[in-house]
């Protein structure tokens, strides 16, 4: 069974098509791991065991040819699934069952994948540790006393633990890349508008983007090939020619120009993380790329601008959850104002309330120009700075996070410190650019470290080729945590 679990998604699908393993065997192997590890890791909110096995049996009868055919995966619980509850890890939506699928869910179905369930996350995707879920925190498979990152922590932890071969998450300020780095897996946020946001429950609409978390860059290429498209139901969707990322994956980066913005290697960066990131830069140089330091002064404004704009959009998006139109309704016969107050107080957790209040404040009369308008101007500065850099470089290289995963509870005690962990990832969200995290080593304590690659708009092929080049020369993406699969020690 562990042989199946150790395969990549592409290897598993190839084995299924050759008749070496059945879809049902793969799904059952994954469900066995979920059953064994769920109490420890708390990666899932809803497991669809019966439906998954029925789907796998149907696929075994049907046969297929796609690169992900028969592969079991799971999705973050802020993606709508018809007939299956979508909670956003919040009491506000604890019993919500959507009447429709998100666009990416239908595309995964067309690709022949098997949905194993909905993954735990920070409430409404607001957090960087996956501790704000009303269903309890997710644990890091490498060390159960540490967080997996967030907000797509369930997705990253499930892939790292061998519970699924791939997962979909959402990335608003780093929520795919940061947990991927802390769990030792590969995660990619594509160009904003290239993956449908239809059916993705909104946090901050101008930032939110569906992304993939997998075991390696090749699997990420296959998942993006499946989910990137122009969906007319998404008003922010971008028309274009999609697909072909996996076919174009060759790892050839000879002559590629890669910049390392000095502002993303600041004093707050843990020396161990710095060394591992620079190790990845050396691998890229050895493969023929030109890697050098560059300057990105506007990055100093990115984190503050991001939190002002994101909280403002959250305040607007979450106003609908009032106990009348949407979401949890408080008990008792109360007046309208009391109904609003109690329903929202009972339905939202503390971090969501904090961001709603921050957003309402910066949008209020007398503060709009002082905060929100200036944040929009700073966002434009960041965007122009990246445009200038990409006239000189093909990619940028940076850390994903300032440190390895912290202990459970530490970030909740110091929210501002938690926000600082997003300092290297928010630039890609402010600009809408594609970015990814790949494993590049471990700390002295054995915790994973990730390196971030940022590309120009529609630069996913360049990103994936660079990541693939690193993974051809290193073994970090092949390491497994102690709790991987059905048991045994990590390698």
pLDDT tens digits, 70-117: 999 999 999 999 999 999 999 999 999 999 999 999 999 999 999 999
109-123, 275-289, 403-417, 436-450 — which is least confidently predicted?
Answer: 403-417
**Structural domain contains residue 105:** yes
Per 3-state DSSP, what percentage of the chain is helix, strand, and coil (rounded to 5)?
Answer: 45, 15, 45
Query: Which single residue is written with the structure tokens 């009447």?
Result: 99
Mean pLDDT of 217-229: 98
pLDDT, the chain, mean? 96
Neighbour tally for 478: CB within 10 Å: 14
- Which of the 8 DSSP states describes residue 435? E
Mean pLDDT of 184-213: 98
> Of the residues 130, 151, 343, 437, which is catalytic?
151
Q: Say how far apart CA 4 and CA 153 lie, in whole Å.
A: 24
What integer pLDDT is reported at residue 87 of this predicted model?
98
What integer pLDDT is reported at residue 489 of this predicted model?
36
**Structural domain contains residue 204:** yes
353-404 pLDDT per residue, tens: 999 999 999 999 999 999 999 999 999 999 999 999 999 999 999 999 999 9
Going 17 to 20 to 26 to 28, the CA torsion angle's sign is positive
User: Is pLDDT of 487 > 70?
Assistant: no
> Of the residues 13, 76, 128, 130, which is catalytic?
76
Instruction: Give the whole-number percent of the chain exceeding pLDDT 70.
Output: 99
Cβ-Cβ contacts under 8 Å for 387 (sequence gap 6 or more): none
**Structural domain contains residue 471:** yes
Banded model confidence at residue 448, pLDDT cuts 50, 70, 90: very high
402-417 pLDDT per residue, tens: 999 999 999 888 888 8
**Structural domain contains residue 436:** yes
User: Is pLDDT of 295 > 60?
Assistant: yes
Q: Say how far apart CA 404 and CA 345 lie, in whole Å.
A: 34
What is the domain extent for residue 130?
Answer: 2-298+380-478
Asked if the peptide bond before residue 151 counts as cis, ω within 30 degrees of 0, the response is yes
Structural domain tally of the chain? 1
Residue 175 appears among annotated catalytic residues: yes
Q: Say how far apart CA 23 and CA 59 lie, in whole Å.
A: 7
**Structural domain contains residue 306:** no
Q: Say how far apart CA 421 and CA 150 lie, in whole Å.
A: 10
121-158 pLDDT per residue, tens: 999 999 999 999 999 999 999 999 999 999 999 999 99
Alpha helix positions (H), 118-258: 153-160, 177-183, 217-227
- Which of the 8 DSSP states describes residue 232? T
Q: Say how far apart CA 274 and CA 272 lie, in whole Å.
A: 5
Among candidates 305, 295, 347, which has minimal Cα distance to 323?
Answer: 347
What CATH number is associated with residue 447? 3.90.1300.10
Residue 411 appears among annotated catalytic residues: no
**Structural domain contains residue 421:** yes
Task: Output the CA–CA distances (angstroms, integers) from residue 81 to 114, 118, 262, 280, in the order listed.
Answer: 13, 9, 42, 38
Q: 336 versus 206: which is more confidently predicted? A: 206
Map residue 130 onto helix, strand or coil.
coil
User: Is pLDDT of 1 > 80?
Assistant: no
**Structural domain contains residue 309:** no
**Structural domain contains residue 100:** yes
Residue 76 appears among annotated catalytic residues: yes
> Of the residues 130, 152, 175, 437, which is catalytic?
175
């Amino acid at each position: 069974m562990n042989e199946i679990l150790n395969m990549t998604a592409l290897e598993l699908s190839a084995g299924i098509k050759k008749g070496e393993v059945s879809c049902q065997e793969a799904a059952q192997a994954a469900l066995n791991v979920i059953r064994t590890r769920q109490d420890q890791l708390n990666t899932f909110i809803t497991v669809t065991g019966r439906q998954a096995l029925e789907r796998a049996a149907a696929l075994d009868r049907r046969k297929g040819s796609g690169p992900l055919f028969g592969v079991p995966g799971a999705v973050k619980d802020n993606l709508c699934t018809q007939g299956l509850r979508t909670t956003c890890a919040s009491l506000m939506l604890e019993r919500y069952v959507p009447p429709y699928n998100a666009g990416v869910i239908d595309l995964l179905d067309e690709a022949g994948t098997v949905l194993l369930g909905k993954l735990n996350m920070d409430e409404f995707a607001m957090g960087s540790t996956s501790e704000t879920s009303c269903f309890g925190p997710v644990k890091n498979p490498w060390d159960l006393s540490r967080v997996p990152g967030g907000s797509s922590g369930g997705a990253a932890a499930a892939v790292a633990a061998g519970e699924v071969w791939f997962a979909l998450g959402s990335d608003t300020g780093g929520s795919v890349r940061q947990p991927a780095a802390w769990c030792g897996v590969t995660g990619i946020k594509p160009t904003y508008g290239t993956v449908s946001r239809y059916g993705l429950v909104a946090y901050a609409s101008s930032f939110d983007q569906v992304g993939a978390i997998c075991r390696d860059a090749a699997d990420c290429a296959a998942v993006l090939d499946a989910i990137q498209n122009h969906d007319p139901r998404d008003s922010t969707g971008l028309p274009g020619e999609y697909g072909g990322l996996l076919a174009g994956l060759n790892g050839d980066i000879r002559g590629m120009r890669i910049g390392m913005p000095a502002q993303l290697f600041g004093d707050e960066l843990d020396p161990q993380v710095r060394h591992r990131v620079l190790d990845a830069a050396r691998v890229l140089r050895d493969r023929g790329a030109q890697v050098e330091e560059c300057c990105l002064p506007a990055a100093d404004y990115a984190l503050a601008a991001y939190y002002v704009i994101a909280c403002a959009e959250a305040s607007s998006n979450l106003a609908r959850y009032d106990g009348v139109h949407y979401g949890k309704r408080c008990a008792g016969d109360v007046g309208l104002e009391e109904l609003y107050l109690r329903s929202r107080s009972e339905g939202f957790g503390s971090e969501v309330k904090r961001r709603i209040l921050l957003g309402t404040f910066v949008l209020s009369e007398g503060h709009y120009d002082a905060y929100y308008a200036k944040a929009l101007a700073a966002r434009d500065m960041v965007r122009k700075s990246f445009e200038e850099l990409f006239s000189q470089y093909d990619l940028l290289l940076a850390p994903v996070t300032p440190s390895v995963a912290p202990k459970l509870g530490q970030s909740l005690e110091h929210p501002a410190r938690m926000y600082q962990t997003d300092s290297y990832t928010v630039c890609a969200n402010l600009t809408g650019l594609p970015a990814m995290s790949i494993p590049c080593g471990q700390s002295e304590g054995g915790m994973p470290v990730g390196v971030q690659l940022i590309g120009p708009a529609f630069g996913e092929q360049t990103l994936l080729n660079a990541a693939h080049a690193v993974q051809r020369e290193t073994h970090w993406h092949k390491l497994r945590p102690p709790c991987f699969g059905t048991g045994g020690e990590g390698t």
